[in-house]
């Protein structure tokens, strides 16, 4: 796309979410922090919290590791004999011009909105991952996006190619340095999942309290392919808006989207997901559990059934634990053919006091009973996760303490 058109798109508001002035942030590409070792201990703890392992744990539980600080890849490691390619998108573009033709900005249109345009105009940052046909990688790859300076604009363009019959699990941990008060993250992810291939993508967000986040993800799934997305965000986040979109293009392709969201006071989450079922036998399921402890949540979910013989199910459930804030659930089903099986369930409310009493009658204190119910509510059965990560998410949820005063 020519530069002029892209520059014009820099003013284009996004379909959803508050409009952000990109000029308010510093968009330097200068590498001010050159390695993870330069980060403070407090920041490294935050990395660990979002699932990024180091040392022996990394050696054991991760097949590869990518860390980007602001706009620079500072760590690109692949364990020996792991059949995957991992490099910065910039390097990949130089190395494989033919792939650029085929995959760069094909799933996501660069002039979609000002955020995509800004990223497309900047020097390429982010990761390129390719798993060749038939290679099944059982140990997850970890990718970390971290804003390490205050007021920084981080722009990321990721390209993931899982060729036919290949499998990969990615843990994407996103956070900001302990010292960072405000900043902005734009993350464009283009995912190409081949025939009978499988990608499980788990994203844990723990941005600083005043960071603004605009991910733009599109996944294309071919025949028999599976895309599983898990998203966890339980810390205060000033303003996150995302609407990842999955196109199930081949017969019997599957998409599963699970989201666990907690919005404390001061958070504004506009989170959604769309699956377009374009081929016979496709299945999609989107399950979102949302809690507001005073924050604002807009929970969009949309399924579009284009052909006969597809199945889609949507759940947008919310618990209000405060009189402040709101949860606005918008489930949408769009059946464009007969013989499509599409359903949704959306329930928003407070905790049923009978449930609390039931647990109290077994000897639990009121606070413990409430916390147990809240945790149970958030306990979406996340499929296909490696044990270590499932434990991590459980620990993350356990660390969420429900506080009556909220």
Partner 1 sequence: MLKIEHLSVAVRGRKILNDINLHIKPGEVHVLFGPNGTGKSTLIGAIMGFDRYEILEGKIYFKGQDITGMSCDERARLGIGVMIQRPPTIRGLSLRKMVEICGATPEETETMAKWMGMDNFLDRSVNDGFSGGELKRCELLQLMAQSPDLLLLDEPESGVDLENIALVGKAVNYILHTEPCGGAGCDRPCCIKNQGFEHNPLESKRSGLIITHSGHILKYVPASHAHILYEGQMTCACGDPLDVLNCIGQAGYETCVKRGKCEVKK
Chain residues that interact with partner 1, rule: CB under 8 A:
352-355, 357-366, 369, 372-373, 375-380
- Please state the closest distance from residue 323 (CB atom) to partner 1, in A: 20
- Please state the closest distance from residue 294 (CB atom) to partner 1, in A: 22
- Please state the closest distance from residue 317 (CB atom) to partner 1, in A: 9
* Phi, psi torsion values for 35, nearest 5 degrees: -155, 165
- Please state the closest distance from residue 352 (CB atom) to partner 1, in A: 6
CB atoms within 10 A of CB 51: 27
Q: Is 151 left (phi over 0), alpha (psi -120 to 50) or beta?
A: left
Q: Which two tokens stand for residue 367?
A: 């606070």
Rounded-to-integer distance, Cα 198 and Cα 170, Å: 11
Closer to partner 1 at the Cβ: 135 or 372? 372
Q: Which two tokens stand for residue 320?
A: 């209000």
* Phi, psi torsion values for 155, nearest 5 degrees: -120, 130
DSSP string, 269-293: EEE--EEEE-STT-EEEEEEEEEEE
Rounded-to-integer distance, Cα 28 and Cα 32, Å: 10
Bridge partners (DSSP) of residue 300 are 330
Closer to partner 1 at the Cβ: 4 or 354? 354
Closer to partner 1 at the Cβ: 40 or 352? 352
Closer to partner 1 at the Cβ: 372 or 388? 372
Half-sphere exposure for 58 (CA within 13 Å, toward CB) = 17
Do the Cβ atoms of 278 and 251 come closer than 8 Å?
Answer: no
- Please state the closest distance from residue 356 (CB atom) to partner 1, in A: 9
Closer to partner 1 at the Cβ: 308 or 366? 366
Residues of the chain by 3-state class (helix, strand, coil), percent to 5: 20, 40, 35
Closer to partner 1 at the Cβ: 366 or 383? 366
Cβ-Cβ contacts under 8 Å for 132 (sequence gap 6 or more): 83, 84, 85, 163, 166
Closer to partner 1 at the Cβ: 174 or 382? 382
The DSSP symbol for 112 reads: S
- Please state the closest distance from residue 245 (CB atom) to partner 1, in A: 28
- Please state the closest distance from residue 386 (CB atom) to partner 1, in A: 19
């Amino acid at each position: 796309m020519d530069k002029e058109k892209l520059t014009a798109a820099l003013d284009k508001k996004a379909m959803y979410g508050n409009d952000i002035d990109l000029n308010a942030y510093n968009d330097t590409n200068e590498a001010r922090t050159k390695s993870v070792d330069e980060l403070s201990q407090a920041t490294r703890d935050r990395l660990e919290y979002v699932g990024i392992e180091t040392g022996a744990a990394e050696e054991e539980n991760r097949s590869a590791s990518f860390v980007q600080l602001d706009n620079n890849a500072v760590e690109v490691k692949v364990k020996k004999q792991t059949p995957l390619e991992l490099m910065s998108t910039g390097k990949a573009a130089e190395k494989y011009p033919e792939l650029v033709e085929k995959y760069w900005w094909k799933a996501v249109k660069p002039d979609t909105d000002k955020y995509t345009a800004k990223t497309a105009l900047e020097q390429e940052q982010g990761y390129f991952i390719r798993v060749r046909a038939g290679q099944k990688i059982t140990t997850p790859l970890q990718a970390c996006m971290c804003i390490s300076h205050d007021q920084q604009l981080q722009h990321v363009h990721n390209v993931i190619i899982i060729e036919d019959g290949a499998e990969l699990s990615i843990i994407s941990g996103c956070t900001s340095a302990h010292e960072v008060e405000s900043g902005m993250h734009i993350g464009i992810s283009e995912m190409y999942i081949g025939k009978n291939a499988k990608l499980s993508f788990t994203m844990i967000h723990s941005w600083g309290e005043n960071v603004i986040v605009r991910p733009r993800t599109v996944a294309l799934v071919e025949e028999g392919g599976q895309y599983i997305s898990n998203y966890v965000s339980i810390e205060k986040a000033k303003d996150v808006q995302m609407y990842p979109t999955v196109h199930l293009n081949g017969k019997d392709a599957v998409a599963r989207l699970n989201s666990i969201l907690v919005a404390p006071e001061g958070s504004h989450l506009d989170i959604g997901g769309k699956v377009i079922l374009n081929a016979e036998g496709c299945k999609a399921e989107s399950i979102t559990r949302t809690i507001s402890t005073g924050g604002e949540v807009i929970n969009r979910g949309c399924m579009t059934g284009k052909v006969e013989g597809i199945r889609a199910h949507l759940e947008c459930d919310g618990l209000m634990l405060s009189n402040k804030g709101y949860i606005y659930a918008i489930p949408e089903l769009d059946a464009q053919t007969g013989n499509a099986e599409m359903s949704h369930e959306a329930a928003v409310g407070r905790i049923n006091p009978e449930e609390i009493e039931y647990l109290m009658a077994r000897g639990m204190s009121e606070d413990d009973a409430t916390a147990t119910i809240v945790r149970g509510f958030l306990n979406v059965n996340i499929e296909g996760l490696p044990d270590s990560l499932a434990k991590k998410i459980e620990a993350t949820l356990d660390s969420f303490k429900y506080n009556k005063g909220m």
